[in-house]
Structure 1
Amino acid sequence: MLQDALWSLPALRRLEIEAELQGLDLMQRAARATAAWTRRHLPPGARILVAAGPGNNGGDALYAALLLMQEGYSLDILMPQMPASPQAQQAYLALRSAGGIPLQQLAADAPAPALLIDGLFGIGLSRPLDTKWLALIHQLDQLDCQRLALDCPSGLNAYTGQVQQACIHATHTLTFLCHKPGLFYSAGADHAGQVELATLDCPPALQPAPEGYLNRQGAQALQRRRDSHKGSHGTVAIIGGSEGMLGAALLAGRAALAGGAGKVHVLALDGRLAADTSCPELMLHDARQPHSQPDCDVLATGPGLGQSRQARQWLEHALASPLPLVLDADALNMLASDAQLQDLLAMREADTILTPHPAEAARLLGNSTATVQADRLAAVQQLVSRFDCLVILKGAGTLIAAAGQPYQLNTSGGPALAVAGQGDVLSGLIAALLAQGMPAMAACCLAVRVHGMAGDEYQQETGGPIGLTATATAHRCSLILNRLLNA
């Protein structure tokens, strides 16, 4: 589906060339989409500053300025450099013919407009900007107004989410043809603002095969028969909870129950707790004696596991199991440094899901957290290739990837989830959906989406991201799953 498709930059460039060969003026379409967006947000007569760069992104902005002039808006047009591309040059000539006179620089004391339209640099920016451009971007970024970025904010790499020394903090981004992954993760998540897509009525015949999608996984597969019982919805076993970290395993178990698993066992390496009084439905087991695993359909190993000898024995046991397996936290840390465990992982035939945050991903890849964050999509693809598993790279813009399938980019969630225990909740939720029979990719996508939605809804209800606990998140996830059943 075009609305959710993600294409690489080379694929997008091939589409643009083919569109030009077929006589489709994508620049004019982008300009019309920009003018339409402006009409929805500002009344005629409002003052707008259009900043146009030398490339095709600047051409989009110049044609949009021409349309907005004709519709009665008050326009200032900033064009620090003459257009370099033929299409942008035509846009400049059309604007001048209509009486538009661009400015080469913006006065330091220029009053703030109602809207800045940022068309300085688009998705093709790959070179470091010189000090002149960086100073201009910084100046524009200080304006007290709404900022609409065309395709992507100037200074942002639309595919890695990395920013240069100066980058526009857009309140809105109107991106063209398809979504760009860097708008949703790394620094891009804080610079793109509210992202909207203008497909420019791209003909289906020109659209390349998507390499990824925005995650929109539904919950219809979880519909239940009236004639069902606890055994109909699967059994999950959580392995973890060493001394001082028992809460992690309990959180994963509670989340598995909230996610709909019929029964949940918690095998705790700290075996002193006979029952979880806050959630007595959990069946607790003393895991200090290895290999006392009850019958189950799915294993989740790692929440609070630690890295003791017993922890490693349980991880070996889990890797040797024929059951679907979710690996998180210390299970990933031990896996990263142990070739024997990696060999066991390579021998598995059942679905295995790795759920690293960036630091854990870096350990698995043998590089740094900064390297992972510098190109999250490359990192998750490397993890899939190296371990032949389904991988969830957590963080802003969580990525879900598996061999031979388009990757999924999650857009729900935010800083409300930046608190201890949320990864444990996600692991338990994934295990619950697997236990109910969802395919691994669908289960992971739904769990990540719902987990993020729980954070978003908390923030909407409270007005801010502070104070959402992992315990409360698990309950919210069950409410959202039920709401999505018939969506």
Structure 2
Amino acid sequence: MPHTKDDLPDALYSAAHVRALDANLIAAGTPGFELMQRAARATWRGLVRQWPSANELTVVAGRGNNSGDGYLVAVLARRAGWHVRVLAAGDPQRLQGDAALAHAAAVSEGIAVQAFTAQSELRGIVLDALLGTGLTGEVREPFASAITAINASGLPVAAVDIPSGLCADTGRILGTAVRADLTVTYIALKVGLFTGDAADVVGELVFNDLQASAESFNGVDIDARRLTAGNLPRLAGRVPTAHKGKFGHVLLIGGDRGFGGAILLSAQSALRSGAGMVSVATRSEHVPAALARIPEAMVLGTSSANQLMELLQKVSVLVVGPGLGQAAWGRSLLSAAANAPLPQVWDADALNLLASNHVSLPKDCVITPHPGEAARLLGISTAEVQADRPAAAHALSKKYTAVVILKGAGSLIASPDGRLALSHQGHPAMATAGLGDVLAGLVGALLAQGMDAFNAACLAVWLHANAGEQQGKSGRGLAASDLIPAIRQLLEEQAPCLK
């Protein structure tokens, strides 16, 4: 059955695991050519729904089964009375198996199949049937030129299974990729459709399982799960006799000179996300501003780590790093936190100091790196992190025995036990300072209310991304503090306070 992006399965798979599912379907008695026909029908329905008044189709076909889907869509379009042509990037006579049968079906239907050249004219709806999920290396010729022509055409573009050039496992563009308006994907969802560069090229996503039975999925591991409103971990409700002592005491440490706003954003986020009590340890210069902005918080002007020791005995969760800086003041406070046997969230400069080997991370923490911080923590380049975001998240989680939130488009949450969750929500207006500070405070508040690290990270990322999506509808100029009331509202919708 078809699904749009708002109604998709939770499970995400690697390309290899989707191929295993495909093999299971065939082994269970569904011929490969029948699966190809189902994929073509699903794609055709997607095209007609997306562009109901269209009547012309140009299929740009490659050399594998992806092209077979394209040839069969061409057949369906011709039978519906559309003007249809196929441009083949590669010799169709070299096609094998089901793809060769699909090509033969198109030829028998009287569809013109011409060789793609740089001078080829694209008309109507363009269907990208060039490269499938098996692509791992950089896109080569003639496919690179075909992709360039598709993107330069200015025409509506649909992609078969995945936009050509997008890695199905990582969401990385492999040199160049088709920028689709619609992608119709099959059998199971691929991780790479939801992270990395995917949001720039996938367009509207429609999924069809090609009538795969539940038994087909036996023995095939899920690589990640999408976070959705239906599968989120939830906070317990609060009984009428609830009091602040039951919902934790978060201590937020940071805000060196010139960076006081960061720790105040985190503290405001923690308070508005339900922490029972909130304390802030920051530079003395920032105390008046903190009390004016958040009078509900207890604020300690701190000049040395010694002043933290008594407070560390009273709190239940630490959030360390927003505005911390990397000078002696920040290093000493981070060292004190690292020795405290408490659940902790490390963000921003706490991660930079961790990468510089100034301190060791306690076990069972949550760390919240953006790709640049992740690169420093792993000793690789930012480009290498972005080239395989799922692998980077797993590597960080294993190296630091921590729950990792790898921020960015398609944020990932990795657990040391191998679980991987993904949030593809968000908005381009979220590209602004301070949002990470809000996220860190939110994670801390959820930990303080009794959630375990992985569930707190998952819920926090989903709330943060969806609040940003809501507030981003007003366009650029989004401020990080705009998210806080939206997060509060979403949290109450997901987990009502009163039982």
Normalised by the size of structure 1, how large is the TM-score? Answer: 0.92
| SS of residue matched to 2:48 | helix
Q: Aligned-pair distance for 1:456?
A: 1.1
Residue 315 of structure 2 corresponds to which residue in structure 1? 296
Alignment: residue pair count: 477
Residue 88 of structure 1 corresponds to which residue in structure 2? 99
Residue 212 of structure 1 corresponds to which residue in structure 2? 224
Stretch deviating more after TM superposition (215-224 or 318-327): 215-224
**How far apart in 2 are the matches of 1:11 and 1:219?**
26
The answer to whether the 8 Å contact 1:219/1:481 transfers is no
Q: Aligned-pair distance for 1:219?
A: 5.7
**How far apart in 1 are the matches of 2:141 and 2:69?**
24
**How far apart in 1 are the matches of 2:483 and 2:174?**
35
Paired residue type of 2:296: E
| SS of residue matched to 2:287 | coil
Residue 416 of structure 2 corresponds to which residue in structure 1? 403
The answer to whether the 8 Å contact 2:89/2:146 transfers is no
Cα distance change of structure 1 residues 128 and 330 upon mapping to structure 2, 3 Å threshold: closer
Cα distance change of structure 1 residues 476 and 172 upon mapping to structure 2, 3 Å threshold: same
Residue 131 of structure 1 corresponds to which residue in structure 2? 141
**How far apart in 2 are the matches of 1:45 and 1:317?**
65
Residue 293 of structure 2 corresponds to which residue in structure 1? 278
The answer to whether the 8 Å contact 2:430/2:472 transfers is no
Which of 18, 22, 35 is the aligned partner of 1:12? Answer: 18
Residues 61-108 of structure 1: CA deviation (Å, up to 9, x unaligned): 111222232233332222232152311001111222222222223684
Q: How does 1:5-404 map to 2 (within 5 A)?
A: 5-24=11-30, 25-43=34-52, 46-81=55-90, 82=92, 84-105=95-116, 108=119, 110=121, 112-113=123-124, 115-207=125-217, 208-216=220-228, 217-218=231-232, 220-274=234-288, 275-290=290-305, 291-293=309-311, 295-338=314-357, 341-342=359-360, 345=361, 348-349=362-363, 351-404=364-417
The answer to whether the 8 Å contact 1:271/1:288 transfers is no
The answer to whether the 8 Å contact 2:347/2:367 transfers is yes
Residues 113-160 of structure 1: CA deviation (Å, up to 9, x unaligned): 1x2211111111234333332112111111222211111111222222
Gaps of 5+ in 2: 1-6
The reply on whether 1:437 has 2:450 as its aligned counterpart is yes
**How far apart in 1 are the matches of 2:400 and 2:310?**
28
Stretch deviating more after TM superposition (99-108 or 144-153): 99-108
**How far apart in 2 are the matches of 1:165 and 1:186?**
14
Stretch deviating more after TM superposition (231-240 or 121-130): 121-130
| SS of residue matched to 2:413 | strand
Paired residue type of 2:302: A
Normalised by the size of structure 2, how large is the TM-score? Answer: 0.90
Q: Aligned-pair distance for 1:186?
A: 2.5
Q: Aligned-pair distance for 1:412?
A: 0.9
Cα distance change of structure 1 residues 375 and 473 upon mapping to structure 2, 3 Å threshold: same
Which of 472, 478, 481 is the aligned partner of 2:488? Answer: 478
Paired residue type of 2:237: Q
Gaps of 5+ in 1: none
Paired residue type of 1:331: A
Q: Aligned-pair distance for 1:459?
A: 2.5
Cα distance change of structure 1 residues 48 and 202 upon mapping to structure 2, 3 Å threshold: same
